Amino acid sequence: MIRPEEALRTILAHTPVLSDCSSDADLPAVLRVIAEPIRADRDIPTSDVSRMDGYAVVAPLASGTELQMVDEICAGCLPTRPIARHECSRIYTGGVLPANANAVVKQETVSTASDGQLVTANCSVAPGENVTAQGSVSREGTVVLPAGMPLGAAQAAVCATVGETPRCYRAPQLAVLCTGQEVIPEGDVPGPHQIRDAAGPSVSAAASSIGGEVALRRIVPDDLGQLTEALAGALQNADVHVVVTVGGVSVGDYDLIPEALKAVGAQVLLHGVAAKPGKPFLFAVGPTSKPIFGLPGNVLSALVTFFEFVAPAIRKMARMPEPWHPTLPVRLASDVPSIQQRTHFVLVRVRQGDDGRWVADPIPAQHSADVVAAGAADGVVGVAPGDEGLTAGAEAQFRPWRPLW
């Protein structure tokens, strides 16, 4: 068995990036990466504009100067006339400065005559004061968002400002194949020899949470012919970029995924990692280099291996910038054990302490099928192999399984 970090290096080395693009606004928001540079279609702003409510003036202006108000300019209006040095225009935030004006005196630093037409500046004013100059944010033709930039809320605002609908790389689409004749759809009523499919919905939700799309999901019995057919179909499906199997990767007589992979011409690059839970994890590539991830069948093991190995590959495929495998430093609220020769992934719930730092409360799990413990967790911390584990107050690296805010 190899260490989890070595396994991830192997996986990422054999993970291709996607080249498909779309300008579809309904693409998943989490993994939208801009494929082409976005340029400003005009100067931003297109004119000199006021940064606050006040009076547009010709600067420099000495304190005590009296000015005749000749115009009023609100945002969305154009000035009706230029101003002279002895004149001013009432202007509001975002208003376009009239010709000759080069500064704005704030309204709270002036006094006005009873008729409202004579304005006295009660402070000196320098050229450019309280003005956003034309093109000072960006010039026409300038790249305002480079290719490869993730498209978040701020980037969407930039695109709207310059009138662009960005082309983005498509997020990877997954096929999720859950194995086992004991597994039935989650909505059905199981007999005493059956279990509802919990891993399929769980892995699908995990994929969606990081921006992946599940193109197909099905349950396949532990039958070599049916498993081979299902794998071949997923590998040949042009809409599927990643194949994820759940179950069938351990050492039992009915763990047939390795044999089925061989039958479809896939190459297994690793099988077994020094981790608990998640030891039976498998990674392979299909005949056309399509990544195949074999997750263990128990929900906790499936989630650990998904977020440790599949999620980083999905981020790389979508051309997200590194780190593809992000962690968050946390302070442990209680001791957590280590395991000899294997990385121990411990379920935790996180919170912010009084000092603002993240604190992780370990959640005991009875075994790798303890779905209730998994449901109480926000993610895991990894504990390196050894004898002593980590003590309360120690710093650990937390891998989130959900957004934290």
Given pLDDT bands bounded at 50, 70 and 90, which one contains residue 25? low
Give the CATH number for residue 84: 2.170.190.11
Q: Record the pTM.
A: 0.89
How does pLDDT run across 327-362, given as a tens digit for each residue? 999 999 999 999 999 999 999 999 999 999 999 999
With contact defined as beta carbons under 8 Å apart, do 255 and 223 qualify?
no
- DSSP codes joined into one string, 186-252: TTSPP-TT-EE--HHHHHHHHHHHTT-EEEEEEEE-S-HHHHHHHHHHHHH-TT-SEEEEES--SSS
Domain count of the fold of the chain: 4
The answer on 160 and 277 residing in a single domain is no
Question: What are 133's two structure tokens?
Answer: 């100059």
Given this model, what pLDDT does residue 63 score? Answer: 96
| Distance (Å) of CA 315 to CA 33, 64, 94, 284 | 10, 62, 40, 18
Q: What is the mean pLDDT of residues 71-99?
A: 96
Q: What is the mean pLDDT of residues 362-382?
A: 92
The answer on 177 and 256 residing in a single domain is yes
The answer on 309 and 214 residing in a single domain is yes
3-state helix, strand, coil in the chain (%, to 5): 20, 30, 50
Given this model, what pLDDT does residue 31 score? Answer: 80
Phi-psi region of 168 (alpha: psi -120 to 50; beta: other; left: phi over 0): beta
Given this model, what pLDDT does residue 26 score? Answer: 59
The answer on 270 and 205 residing in a single domain is yes
Residue 402 pLDDT more than 70? Answer: yes
Residue 23 pLDDT more than 80? Answer: no
How does pLDDT run across 222-240, given as a tens digit for each residue? 999 999 999 999 999 999 9
Q: Is there a domain that residue 29 lies in?
A: no
Given pLDDT bands bounded at 50, 70 and 90, which one contains residue 157? very high
Q: Is there a domain that residue 117 lies in?
A: yes
Given this model, what pLDDT does residue 368 score? Answer: 84
The answer on 253 and 154 residing in a single domain is no
Residue 257 pLDDT more than 80? Answer: yes
Given this model, what pLDDT does residue 248 score? Answer: 93
Residue 121 pLDDT more than 70? Answer: yes
Give the CATH number for residue 18: 3.40.980.10
The answer on 191 and 239 residing in a single domain is yes
Given this model, what pLDDT does residue 384 score? Answer: 94
The answer on 150 and 57 residing in a single domain is no
Residue 391 pLDDT more than 90? Answer: yes
Given this model, what pLDDT does residue 30 score? Answer: 80
The answer on 54 and 126 residing in a single domain is yes
The answer on 384 and 285 residing in a single domain is no
Q: What is the mean pLDDT of residues 154-158?
A: 94
Given this model, what pLDDT does residue 403 score? Answer: 85
Given this model, what pLDDT does residue 240 score? Answer: 96
Domain boundary among 297, 317, 337: 317
The answer on 119 and 222 residing in a single domain is no
| Residue numbers of the domain that contains 147 | 36-43+137-166
Indicate the range of 77-86, 333-342, 365-374 predicted with least confidence: 365-374
Given this model, what pLDDT does residue 388 score? Answer: 87
Given this model, what pLDDT does residue 29 score? Answer: 66
With contact defined as beta carbons under 8 Å apart, do 139 and 43 qualify?
yes
Where do the H-state alpha helices sit in 89-223? 153-161, 199-209
Residue 27 pLDDT more than 60? Answer: no
The answer on 251 and 218 residing in a single domain is yes
Nearest to 347 by CA among 330, 365, 370: 365
Q: Is there a domain that residue 31 lies in?
A: no
Given pLDDT bands bounded at 50, 70 and 90, which one contains residue 85? very high
Given this model, what pLDDT does residue 114 score? Answer: 86
With contact defined as beta carbons under 8 Å apart, do 359 and 333 qualify?
yes
21 or 130, greater pLDDT: 130
- Mean pLDDT, rounded, of the chain: 94
Q: φ, ψ for residue 8 (rounded to 5)?
A: -65, -40
